[in-house]
Amino acid sequence: MTKNMDEYLSKNEKELESSLETNLEEGLTTEQVEEHRQKYGKNELPQGKVTPWYIIFLKTLIEPIQIILMVAAVISVIAPMITNNWQVHLEEFIDFIVIMTIVLIDSILETVQTMKARKSMDALKSLSKPKAVVIRNDMQQEIDASELVVGDVVVLEAGKYVPAELRIIEASDLMIDESILTGESVPVEKTDEPLTKQTTILAEMKNVAFMSTFTTGGRAIGVVIKTGVDTEIGKIATSINENDEESTPLEKKMAKFTMQIALLSFAIGILIFVTLFFSGNKGAWANYLMVAITLAIGVIPECLAAIISITLSFSTKRMAKENVIVKKLQAVETLGSVNVICTDKTGTLTQNKMTVKKMIMDNSILESKAYAKEKNDKHMDLFLKSLVLCNDSVTEGSERIGDPTELALVDYAEIIGYDEQDARDKWERIDEIPFDSERKMMTTVHEINGVNTTFTKGAIDNLLECCSKIMIDNVERPITDEDKKQLLAISESLSENALRVLAFAYNTNYDKEKDKDDLEHDLTFLGGVAMIDPVRDSAVSAVKSAHDAGVKVVMITGDHAVTALAIAKDLDLAHDASEVMSSEKLDAMNDDELFAIIEQIKVFARVNPEHKVRIVEALQKSGNIVSMTGDGVNDAPSLAKADIGVAMGITGTDVAKQAADVILTDDNFETIIKGVNEGRNVYQKIKRAIVFILGVNMANVISIFILSTINTVSPVEATNILWMNLIVESIIALSMGMGANDETLMKVKPIKGKNSLFRGIWFSMIKIIIFTTGATIGAYYFGMSFVDKQFLEKVVGQEKAELGWWKLLKRHDPNITMEQKIEIGDYGRTTMFMAITCAPCFYSNLIKLSHWKTSKKLHLVVNKPLWISSMGAFFLNMIVLFIPGLNDKILNLISVEQYAEHWYLVPVVFAIALTPTVAILLLDGIVFVGYHYFPEPRRRNKIILEQLIKHDEKIKKANRKPRNIEED
């Protein structure tokens, strides 16, 4: 193992050579490389545990709902065998085959989706095979970064990733972007000097280049001091891999829901068996047990697991088209439950591209777009030359190498028509003074039209001290104290609005014989630029959409509080310094103090990785479902801690992607909001399916239980219930998650805290239960009205036929067999079967939950697959009534001849099956009108209060002074 990092910070070159067993001039020999590899291992980050597909498949089979369904499948075989004296018939395995098929389909779907997400994840790895330039055997060569070992001497250049942890031994203007570790968006300057003070703070280790950070400028030579798991990025990757994967909210809810349904079905089974046993013929206990078990199984929504998988699978496909890759199906629903989104600023809310917005020209502020349209005179010509010539960045096609600030200057010059490559070829650099952090300036010398011209850029206060002249309206004149005071005031006003100011000057008195320090004296001030990483236009609308949806957006950034607040104002995210908390204040608070104030804070500035975890924990403690976005290694712990971690696919590191649940392939905040919308629709579709299945199942169980209690015999057969489950669940319910999304759900505020699957569904479910139960029992008695004396004589003989079907079904007469009672009920069974199977086909499209409260306008969402499956199920029910053998032999319904005798039976029963749909429509209409037009007093007062608050906020927003830099 390598030594602690701080042991290398203060060592000189000789001490490093001795400690690392290397030669800093010639590098390692081939033999030493092999020795060090055996000693320290390869330079590879730890990989997360890859679960084989068959283990994923087996895990899906041991989920609670799957176990219950498999037990139910076994019981569905055993129960009929008991009634048939353990004789085995093929039809007794139909239930078993259907249920097990559903279980297998669901497990296969979940396994396939998980494997697809894994492949997408692998395809996104941006740093899969980075290269490194290394000195070995006194020769420079390029190798895979994974082949590096401790003691290797590595050459760093601008535009290259740092391949391992390096102690810098030579540096020339080395600038490294460490944002993936520290969150700081501005590149930091590195040195090759040993540190005199030991430190454990990464940002203070100025002579160390960290693995996977990016070199934005300069050159350097470093020696490898740590590789793979021992690096900072490796440590975080290891901790992420060791974290136990937590269940998503949907998984927790489904586990609880499954247990509740299991207990309910068990209780119903016992209740029905006991009731039938004591009210009926005790000798028929096996038949009663069969009825009880069949109805208990009927309560269990066998297809629910498959419905969830299919709904989530359709959603993940839609989300993939919207640039969202979901690693785990259940994460989609979690996105929909989110009520707080913690997001990075750079690249997510902003464009991650410094852009020139304002110009300091002729002692005034101009818009950059307006200046670009002005006439290209002598002043502009010199100014544009200073932008591109006093600049080390390079752009060529999509290749962009250099400091973001310098790249912004080149981009702006190109807008006006200056290409940096052409300019540098035409006016070559003949001398320079590189930028350093003490002077805060950079100077280059170029021969322009035979004149050696010096261009200098830097911080405006430092630059003005070197200026003796100023150019105003194409005329050079001596600069006055009033000029300097005015320019500094302008610069300060721009800085207060989070704009970064750079000033430019020139002169033509270059003399190579003189000291270089003289280059930065007696300059002529040309002007300046003010730049910022601007917000994405889409982010502004996305933040508004989030607020409309009741989702709080919290910006977490490594930038200073002033910059963060300025961006937050542009996003309409925060407007006052009281809504911003810096890391210093956060550090001074204990967890209880943070918990007390967390809901009021909209922006966290200058944060460290450990701060992000604290913020997430405090928000979760307040009952929030928290989403965290991030791209850097430093974001990984908070991504793993959040309820839903969202990693950036373009700028995101492998560690961040590994820790996250969702990956955005376009790094856009707007995409997160699309994910929230999708998640809400997924959850709503699942709840609708639950309402539908449980409502229909409970209606059937209640109606069968009532009629069984009255008649001492079940009104339907097990095959009837099986067909009903096949039609309602396997055909209709499975298509409920395939329809279009309901955009009005983004107007419904999320419920904070515990949100049970049963919350908000009782009214819809009770409507289905009551109306369907009524229609089903009504259909049964309508069918039994066709049982005449002649029919009874055929079944039980003339003497017993005098009693009528009502008394025959209720009597405990040992001379009347169970088979005879079942045959007596053929007409009632037929009409009840028609009502049970057809009623859900009509009202399946009417199940709505909370979204109708958002507007007085009716918003219809057409689910074409549901309409098609409903109509298909209806026609299947009609067809099965008229297929000889299937209708009377298997389903125990009346024969085709009996339909011919009573031609109006079918249309009347269909009319009865329509009554729940009509009743639901009428009741929904009454509730809708009452809710929107005749609210009860308490809610009416609440509506008036909300309208007053919105009106006040609108006035306050209209009166809020906009950011106007010119006025400043």
pLDDT at 125: 45
pLDDT at 95: 63
pLDDT at 967: 38
State which amino acid sits at residue 491: S
Pick from 152-156, 221-225, 333-337: least confident: 333-337
Of 118, 122, 102, the closest CA to residue 56 belongs to: 118
Exposed, middle or buried by CB within 10 Å (0-12, 13-18, 19+), for 237? buried
Look at residue 690 and tell me whether its pLDDT is greater than 80. Answer: yes
C-alpha torsion 894→900→905→907, nearest 10: 120
Cα 228 to Cα 783: distance, rounded to the nearest angstrom: 77
pLDDT at 718: 67
Q: What is the pLDDT of residues 918-928, one digit of tens each?
A: 999 898 888 88
- The answer to whether 445 and 510 have CB atoms below 8 angstroms apart is yes
Cα 226 to Cα 234: distance, rounded to the nearest angstrom: 10
- The answer to whether 460 and 488 have CB atoms below 8 angstroms apart is yes
- Would you place residue 239 in the very low, low, confident or very high pLDDT band (cuts 50, 70, 90)? low
- The answer to whether 462 and 441 have CB atoms below 8 angstroms apart is yes
**Domains present along the chain, CATH in parentheses:** 6-40+150-226 (2.70.150.10), 332-351+536-675 (3.40.50.1000), 355-532 (3.40.1110.10)
Quote the percentage of the chain above a pLDDT of 70. Answer: 81
Q: What is the pLDDT of residues 326-355, one digit of tens each?
A: 876 667 777 888 889 998 877 678 877 889
Cα 772 to Cα 839: distance, rounded to the nearest angstrom: 7
State which amino acid sits at residue 578: S
DSSP β-ladder status, 644-648 and 626-630: parallel
Report the mean per-residue pLDDT for the chain: 80
Cα 329 to Cα 311: distance, rounded to the nearest angstrom: 9
Of 329, 307, 335, 250, the closest CA to residue 678 belongs to: 335
pLDDT at 968: 35
473 has catalytic annotation: no
Of 247, 272, 265, the closest CA to residue 301 belongs to: 265
- Would you place residue 776 in the very low, low, confident or very high pLDDT band (cuts 50, 70, 90)? very high
DSSP β-ladder status, 552-556 and 523-532: unpaired
Quote the percentage of the chain above a pLDDT of 90. Answer: 17
Query: In terms of pLDDT, which residue wins out, 597 or 265?
Result: 597
* Number of Cβ within a 10 Å radius of residue 327: 21
Would the pTM of this model clear 0.95, i.e. be above it?
no
Cα 4 to Cα 72: distance, rounded to the nearest angstrom: 59
pLDDT at 84: 64
pLDDT at 814: 64
Largest pairwise CA distance in the chain: 135
- The answer to whether 102 and 307 have CB atoms below 8 angstroms apart is no
Residue entry with tokens 């110009």 = 359
- Answer positive or negative: Cα dihedral of 908, 914, 919, 922: negative
pLDDT at 785: 86
Of 302, 308, 378, 375, the closest CA to residue 726 belongs to: 302
Average pLDDT over residues 14-21: 87
Q: What is the pLDDT of residues 503-513, one digit of tens each?
A: 999 998 777 76
pLDDT at 50: 67
pLDDT at 877: 85
Distance of CA 850 to CAs 286, 684, 751, 853, 927, Å? 45, 9, 12, 6, 12
Pick from 223-232, 558-567, 652-661: least confident: 652-661
- Answer positive or negative: Cα dihedral of 654, 655, 658, 662: negative
Cα 701 to Cα 768: distance, rounded to the nearest angstrom: 13
- Would you place residue 745 in the very low, low, confident or very high pLDDT band (cuts 50, 70, 90)? confident
Q: What is the pLDDT of residues 396-439, one digit of tens each?
A: 766 777 788 899 999 999 999 888 888 988 999 988 888 876 78
pLDDT at 53: 78
Reduced to 3 states (helix: H, G, I; strand: E, B; else coil), residue 863 is coil
pLDDT at 966: 39
- Return the bridge partners of 142, or none: 133
Residue entry with tokens 């904070």 = 752
Cα 760 to Cα 755: distance, rounded to the nearest angstrom: 9
- The answer to whether 708 and 825 have CB atoms below 8 angstroms apart is no
Radius of gyration over alpha carbons of the chain, in Å?
38
- The answer to whether 12 and 142 have CB atoms below 8 angstroms apart is no
Reduced to 3 states (helix: H, G, I; strand: E, B; else coil), residue 626 is strand
- The answer to whether 342 and 627 have CB atoms below 8 angstroms apart is yes
Read off the DSSP letter of residue 46: P
Reduced to 3 states (helix: H, G, I; strand: E, B; else coil), residue 959 is helix
Q: What is the pLDDT of residues 547-561, one digit of tens each?
A: 888 899 999 887 778
* Number of Cβ within a 10 Å radius of residue 615: 26
Pick from 36-40, 734-738, 872-876: least confident: 734-738
pLDDT at 779: 93
Positions of E strands within 564-690: 580-582, 603-605, 626-630, 644-648, 662-664
pLDDT at 655: 66
pLDDT at 505: 96
Of 374, 440, 441, 406, the closest CA to residue 529 belongs to: 406
Q: What is the pLDDT of residues 832-865, one digit of tens each?
A: 999 988 999 998 888 765 566 666 777 777 788 8
Query: In terms of pLDDT, which residue wins out, 916 or 265?
Result: 916
State which amino acid sits at residue 862: V
- Return the bridge partners of 644, or none: 627
pLDDT at 945: 77
726: which 2 tokens?
A: 């096949």
- Would you place residue 578 in the very low, low, confident or very high pLDDT band (cuts 50, 70, 90)? confident
State which amino acid sits at residue 215: T
417: which 2 tokens?
A: 């028509």
pLDDT at 711: 78
Out of 152, 177, 230, 344, the active site residue is 344
Q: What is the pLDDT of residues 463-501, one digit of tens each?
A: 999 999 999 988 999 999 999 999 999 999 898 887 889
Cα 685 to Cα 545: distance, rounded to the nearest angstrom: 21
Reduced to 3 states (helix: H, G, I; strand: E, B; else coil), residue 903 is coil
